Amino acid sequence: MATFNKINAFVENMAEKVHNLGADTLKIMLTNVAPVATNTVLLDLTEIAAGNGYTAGGTAVTITSSAQSSGTYKLVGSDVVFTASGGTIGAFRYAVLYNDTPTSPADPLIGWWDYGSAVTLNSGETFTVDLDPTNGILQLV
């Protein structure tokens, strides 16, 4: 499983009420250009081309739990699956989580997963961003 990497600005955005992780529309988009912790918004990144089953802006995450227990908040979501249809998707190496709801800043980044090498999906193939149902997408302590 790829490791989640936090965007630095996410911490400030949480403190300044940019995110409502339990209610906002969170999405995962794909890129083949490495994000860095100092990126802040979706426009800082180079998304792969839309088409063949991949939609510009990525795919929404279905949030299944957004709750705190004993002072630890955990955000849990269902896996996101990308399926190539009618051609290839990619190449991509990184899956990026961002918030599609806020307008200021627009599309603030939350974090990303590095899959270690470029992936290309041929027609009919799928790629799953495995969102850990036990530990969640992220935890705030």
pLDDT at 1 over 80: no
Q: What is the pLDDT of residue 59?
A: 98
| pLDDT score for 47 | 98
Task: Check residue 42 and give its pLDDT.
Answer: 98
- Residue 55 has a CB neighbour count (10 Å cut-off) of 12
Work out the pLDDT band at 72, boundaries 50, 70, 90.
Answer: very high
Average pLDDT, the chain: 97
Report how far apart, in Å, the C-alpha atoms of 37 and of each of 7, 10, 69, 109 are.
4, 9, 28, 10
Query: pLDDT at position 10, please?
Result: 98
Q: Which amino acid is at 18?
A: V
* Predicted pLDDT of residue 102: 97
pLDDT of 116 > 80? The answer is: yes
CA distance 2 to 114: 6
Band (pLDDT 50/70/90 cuts) for residue 13 is: very high
Q: What's the pLDDT at 98? A: 98
Do residues 100 and 33 touch, judged by C-beta distance below 8 A? no
pLDDT recorded at residue 8 = 98
Q: Model pTM?
A: 0.96
